[in-house]
Amino acid sequence: MLLKGRGLLFLVALLYGTLNVSLRSVYSFPDPPSAAALSATRGCLASLCFIPLLLTRDTLKEEQSSKEPSSALLLAGFELAIWNCLAQGLLNVGLISTGSARAAFLTQTSVVLTPIISLVAGQNVPSSTWLGCGLALGGLAVLSGEPGMEAISFSRGDWLTLGGALCWSFYLFRLSQIGSRFNEFNLQATKTNFLSVFYLIWFGISLWNNPDTLFTWISSVAVWLALFYSALGPGTVADIFQQQGQKYISAAEANIILSTEPVFAALFASSLLGEILSFQEIIGGGMILAAALVGSGE
């Protein structure tokens, strides 16, 4: 079961790695959607992707046999949506005043924050996990570093980005705690539906503040295909696989495995977008992969 869980989480990291490529392709088109419009559209598409899964007989039977009341499912989905939304929202606001490379590194500090949360909650964190955390953090520092990057002075954007990393750690921790109590299709669909509502509210506020927003991108088939993939692969499928994987893997180890996402992102960017991997990216990526192997040690 451990091997299955780790395999699923590596697949999730791979799917997350394709997200940047798909979204960057969307922004490469003329008059791309705003961040609010993109988030709301992806959220709604992801919710629609769950419909065929929820209509299958096996899923319905499993839900009917569940001992958890529907109110518990709603509360669990709402809580996960809050943590997920806060993680992304704080990062988006933090990026206004924090460089993308610095933000990428600060966001991935969740690889250390998650085992700390687990330790405070009374869970045992193996020494191999702590070693893996250190290696992953070092690899992410190498991967995200840039000349002139300040290391000591923290701005408001830095603190907001760290807050987003903390919320992502709480999402992973809580998913490990409550994920096994619910069918993954139902819980992730509930979470995604709440997220869609949050993003639609954001989109509505954005339209209110900017009534002249252009929607020329709506007529682009290529944009819709990229958005649909981002909602289905790194969205619906990744969410389901992540909950399945975290049934067998601790939140701390799960975070180490998911930290390989930048490695897959760099590989996909190189193969699909023609970007050339630097020596720094190769070294940082190698450290992260080593961290995943060390952190998965018994």
pLDDT at position 150 is 47
CA end-to-end span of the chain: 13
Residues 6 or more apart whose CB falls under 8 angstroms from that of 295 comprise 128, 129, 131, 132, 133, 135, 136, 252, 253, 256, 257
Residues 6 or more apart whose CB falls under 8 angstroms from that of 20 comprise 265, 268, 269
Q: How confident is the model over 278-288, as a mean pLDDT?
A: 69
- Cβ atoms within 10 A of the Cβ of 197, count? 17
Query: 94 near 160, Cβ under 8 Å?
Result: yes
Q: What DSSP element (H or E) covers 206?
A: helix 184-209
pLDDT at position 46 is 92
Query: 139 near 291, Cβ under 8 Å?
Result: yes
58-105 pLDDT, tens digit per residue, is 555 555 445 566 889 999 999 999 999 888 888 767 765 665 556 666
- Cβ atoms within 10 A of the Cβ of 130, count? 17
- Which two structure tokens, joined as six digits, stand for 161? 């980005």
Residues 6 or more apart whose CB falls under 8 angstroms from that of 132 comprise 253, 256, 291, 292, 293, 294, 295, 296, 297
pLDDT at position 189 is 92
CA distance 54 to 261: 28
Residues 6 or more apart whose CB falls under 8 angstroms from that of 37 comprise 203, 206, 213, 215
pLDDT at position 102 is 61
58 or 51, which is more confident? 51
